Amino acid sequence: MNISKSVFSKKTRDYTFIVLFLLIFSVFIIFAINPSLKTAFSLKKEEKDLVKVDTLYEKKIMDISSIQSQIEENRDSLFLINEAISEYPEVNKMVDDVKTIADKNSLMIRKANIDEVSLSQSKKKLDKVRLIIEGKTNFDNLMKFTDDLFKQRRLKTINNLIINLDKEATASGQLQVIIAIDGYYL
């Protein structure tokens, strides 16, 4: 009876109740509260990430809005972009433009070559057509030629310029020039 008294005593029952309560409470914390806490923390992190994304999108929208307003302001001048960088190589127009200013500035063209021209329309990047001309002129006319070349609406750059004294010319100051001119298109 001594054992049954000690097993069923109030003190033993209280300890047993406390141990069972702590055991059940631990299981409850592990399986019920822990996932809720993990979810709460992940939602908090997700909220921070969404705030960052929202800020980024807001900045992009503001940039697009700014670009749109600039386009609206410059709508009447947009045709100049199409004239500066054509959609197609338009080699004949480029040759005609260069020949016109060469004639105007007394640049006698002896030879003109066109480098390879890509006619592929699959890519949408800036491409160029290169015109290489050989001719004779004096230095002042060469400077006027380059000035007039850069004043034209179609964007052109001089990629290479070779100037030599013309030994065959009887007039002083005659130069042999080789000019590589790049015209751009999309």
pLDDT tens, residue by residue, 100-156: 999 999 999 999 998 877 766 656 677 888 999 999 999 999 999 999 999 988 889
User: Which residue's entry shows tokens 């999309």?
Assistant: 186
pLDDT value of position 33 = 79
Cα–Cα distance, 163 to 176 (Å, whole number): 6
β pairing state of 175-185 and 108-114: unpaired
Calculate the average pLDDT of the chain.
Answer: 86
Question: Is the entire prediction scored with pTM above 0.75?
Answer: no
pLDDT value of position 26 = 85
CA dihedral of 95, 97, 100, 102, whole degrees rounded to 10? -70
Q: Would you say residue 1 has pLDDT above 70?
A: no
Collapse the DSSP code of 178 into the 3-class scheme (helix H, G, I; strand E, B; otherwise coil) and give the result: strand
Which tokens in the block code for residue 63?
């940039």
pLDDT value of position 121 = 65
